Amino acid sequence: MKTDKIFLVAELSANHNQDKNLALKTIKAAKDSGADAIKLQTYTPDCMTLDCEGDDFRIKGTLWEGKRLYDLYQEAMTPWEWHKELFDYAHQLGLVCFSSPFSKEGVDFLEKLGNPIYKVASFEIVDLELIAYIARLGKPMILSKGIATKEEIDEAIKICKEAGNSDVTLLQCTSSYPAPLQSANLSLIPQLKADFGVEVGLSDHTLGITAPIVAASLGARVIEKHFILERAQGGVDSAFSLEPNEFAQMAKVVREVEELLGIPTYELSEKSKEGRAFMRSLYVAKDIKKGEIIGLGSICSIRPGFGIAPKYLKEVLGKRASKDLCRGKALEFGDWEKI
């Protein structure tokens, strides 16, 4: 996904607590906080898991400890009947609105809404059939790496390309909620770009805004962060979501990082060109008459930089002055002649 600037995505996820008005307010706050896009998730519990009591279907080792998968997804899902209104409202605000589908039915539903970008969630990167189904649409795709192996990432990207879709952005993502800083492994971001030849970014579940800022400095072109009006409202994703003032601070610093990075070029900016006035150059250190031999004490390398470069000193020494040269004159080509 080619963008002129880093694409900042506010992830709504479950931070609506099944209240559509809260979802709409959150979208407005995301816009006001500097987001470029709002992202939804399009699923039902039945397309995610089984309504089953077995131990395999109970969550272990996360902040949702002991909860059944089915119950979590029932609580967290964004009702499909809200989608059109949320899309329309985001568009009115000038936000890009897109979603992560978790089934072919979800893809078909989103296509009817004109979904412009498709995000494949980290745990779905191994669902090659779903990825191929999305890739055939020819729209920009964002894949979260999550816990995928290098081989699994390679398979997913190959499936996209085989379907004729090379517009893929790969996000470094630690699928832990919240993710500890030591597991973020942000140094992988430039490596992902080198290894897979795609645009890269970060889907961040760490607390705070440090990770997105570092990611921006490492070449991330997409940064996704969960967004909530206030963590005190609770909800399944509240613990690792940014509030509006935090997201706004992140956006501000990321934009500053962009300015600091610029583009790789040896071309001098106008400000740098002005600074060249303080470089050293050759100046006449004492009056020299026309025809006089220019000696070492007659020319010096000093600031400012309006004369010719110091590297020409040896070429000047021992030559005759072609004109009267006054002390303090910036030396120019043509001020001497061969003997």
Average pLDDT per block of 10 residues along the chain, 339 residues long: 91 94 98 98 92 84 77 90 98 98 97 98 94 98 94 97 97 83 92 97 94 97 96 88 97 96 87 91 97 94 96 95 97 92
- Domain identity same for 199 and 289: no
Q: 257 and 314, same structural domain? A: no
Q: What is the pLDDT of residue 227?
A: 97
Same domain, yes or no: 245 and 275: no
Two structure tokens written together for 98: 């897109």
State which of 226, 261, 296 marks the end of a domain: 261
User: What was the pLDDT predicted at 319?
Assistant: 95
Asked whether residue 1 is domain-assigned, the answer is: no
Residue 301 lies in a domain: yes
pLDDT value at residue 72: 86
pLDDT for the residue numbered 148: 93
Neighbouring-strand partners of residue 119:
142
**Is 150 found in the same domain as 119?**
yes
Give pLDDT, residue 63. Answer: 66
Residues 253, 163 within the same domain? yes
Count of domains in the chain? 2
Return the structure tokens found at 200.
């890269």
SS3 track for the chain: CCCCCCEEEEECCCCCCCCHHHHHHHHHHHHHCCCCEEEEEECCHHHHCCCCCCHHHECCCCCCCCCEHHHHHHHHCCCHHHHHHHHHHHHHHCCEEEEEECCHHHHHHHHHCCCCCEEECHHHCCCHHHHHHHHCCCCCEEEECCCCCHHHHHHHHHHHHHCCCCCEEEEEECCCCCCCHHHCCCCHHHHHHHHHCCEEEEEECCCCCHHHHHHHHCCCCEEEEEECCCHHHCCCCHHHCECHHHHHHHHHHHHHHHHHHCCCCCCCCHHHHHHHHHCCEEEECCCECCCCECCHHHEEEECCCCCCCHHHHHHHCCCEECCCECCCCECCCCCEECC
Please check whether residues 211 and 312 belong to one and the same domain: no
Same domain, yes or no, for 171 and 43? yes
Domain-ending residue, one of 261, 283, 317: 261
Of 261, 293, 322, at which residue does a domain stop? 261
Q: Looking at residue 283, which CATH number applies to its domain?
A: 3.90.1210.10
pTM for this one? 0.85
- Judgement on whether residues 204 and 119 belong to the same structural domain of the protein: yes
- Residue 290: domain span: 270-337
The total number of residues shown for the chain amounts to 339
Name the residue among 260, 200, 253 with its Cα closest to residue 224.
200
Instruction: Specify the pLDDT at position 251.
Output: 98
Strand 281-284, strand 299-302: pairing: antiparallel
Q: Which two tokens stand for residue 148?
A: 């995928």
Is 242 among the domain residues? yes
